[in-house]
Amino acid sequence: MIRFLENFSLKQNNTFNINVLAKYYFEFTEPSELDLFFQSNKIWKDEKIFILGGGSNLLFTRNFNGLIIHPNVPGINVINEDRQNIWIEVGAGEEWDEFVQHCVFSEFAGIENLSLIPGKVGAVPIQNIGAYGCEIGNFIETVNGYNLEKNEVFELPGSLCKFGYRDSIFKNEFKGKVIVNSVVFKLEKFPEFDLSYGTLEKEVKKLGDINLRNVRQAVINIRSVKLPDVKEISNAGSFFKNPVVEVLTGKKLRKEFPDIPLYSVDKKYTKLAAGWLIEQCGWKGYREGDAGVHEKQALVLVNYGNATGSEIFQLSEKIKKSVFEKFGVVLEPEVNVI
């Protein structure tokens, strides 16, 4: 099924609930419909194209003068299994957290730490979603989609997706050039839990045994305390990435700010907690009109109602400037600013 609309309001299609218009909007549920669309309307190639998933990781700062493509391919299908693993192909249009719930209840392990992350499955490989010590890149077998430059379908093994911290080939070489239609995940039949992040283990033990359902519930409990629910307050999760700096820079910062959280990356690099840096600059709970900084997690910017995308962006720039002035660290947005 397709939907094609002109001057379409994207307010319901982005979790910041910014009211901007798209000149053209095309939604499809069958990969063949996308192929047909491009084969029969070559003129679309001249339009600026943006591929929109669940809209949970982006900020529109103005109307979009081009073509928005929204892949809404459904389906959760087991395509292979052996004694140890199960391979499941999931359509780009499925809600990520519904898939996680499905796996937890079916006793398929690996992605339970990624519970309650908003968004659709198609967007998951793009920014290599991660939380509580788990990154989805480690569970992606292949990404299937459509290459807009070559006009053909593609199947890319996870090992070639160049997954990094909130990063992948889809944010770089393939940016704007491919559309993800489905993702194949390789999950485990025998769980190996990773409860090492923060208070996760403590939270699971409060619920009883260490099993998939309790780990999922514990993650949901932790996230619900700190992170605003997009159904209540519009937001796009972490607005900035946690900055990665040289180990020496981390050590120097620790001398000046003994409480600064540092996470080891490798011999050369250390990761800082952007939320901590922002809170130290006094932004936590700050509000300017309807744009604000969440009161429990300073890394999350929020729209209390009618903020425009550019108001939220301007607030983010002020935060960036003050963090740079106090710590000499440059924050980079984690959300896609358009």
Q: How far is the CB of 257 from ligand EPU (least distance, A)?
A: 12
Q: How far is it, in rounded angstroms, from Cα 279 to Cα 272?
A: 13
Cβ proximity to ligand EPU: between 86 and 236 the closer is 236
Among positions 1-60, residues that touch ligand EPU (CB under 6 A) are: none
Cβ proximity to ligand EPU: between 210 and 273 the closer is 273
Active site members: 166, 238, 334
Q: How far is the CB of 196 from ligand EPU (least distance, A)?
A: 11
Looking at 70, 186, 216, 241, which residue binds ligand EPU (CB under 6 A)? Answer: 241
> How many other CB atoms sit within 10 Å of the CB of residue 32?
9
Look at residues 251, 247, 242, 252 and name the one whose alpha carbon lies nearest to residue 272.
Answer: 242
Look at residues 237, 204, 203 and name the one whose alpha carbon lies nearest to residue 97.
Answer: 237
Q: How far is the CB of 21 from ligand EPU (least distance, A)?
A: 26
β-sheet bridge partners, residue 89: 77, 184
Q: Can residue 242 be called a binding residue for ligand EPU (CB under 6 A)? A: yes
Cβ proximity to ligand EPU: between 23 and 271 the closer is 271
Q: Can residue 261 be called a binding residue for ligand EPU (CB under 6 A)? A: yes
Q: How far is the CB of 218 from ligand EPU (least distance, A)?
A: 12
Q: Can residue 168 be called a binding residue for ligand EPU (CB under 6 A)? A: no
Cβ proximity to ligand EPU: between 27 and 334 the closer is 334
In this structure, are residues 56 and 237 in contact, taking their beta carbons and an 8 Å threshold?
yes
List of residues 6+ apart from 86 with CB closer than 8 A:
78, 80, 108, 186, 187, 188, 189
List of residues 6+ apart from 120 with CB closer than 8 A:
53, 54, 92, 93, 94, 95, 96
In this structure, are residues 215 and 89 in contact, taking their beta carbons and an 8 Å threshold?
no
Q: Can residue 71 be called a binding residue for ligand EPU (CB under 6 A)? A: no
Q: How far is the CB of 138 from ligand EPU (least distance, A)?
A: 15
Distances (CA, A) of 151 to 141, 147, 177, 291: 23, 6, 10, 41
Among positions 268-327, residues that touch ligand EPU (CB under 6 A) are: 273, 275-276, 279, 284, 297-299
How many helices and strands (H and E) does the chain possess?
Answer: 7, 20
Cβ proximity to ligand EPU: between 35 and 194 the closer is 194
The full length of the chain comes to 338
Q: How far is it, in rounded angstroms, from Cα 327 to Cα 335?
A: 22
Among positions 192-221, residues that touch ligand EPU (CB under 6 A) are: 197-198
Among positions 129-148, residues that touch ligand EPU (CB under 6 A) are: 131-132
User: Site residues (CB under 6 A) for ligand EPU?
Assistant: 131-132, 197-198, 226-227, 237-238, 241-242, 261, 273, 275-276, 279, 284, 297-299, 334
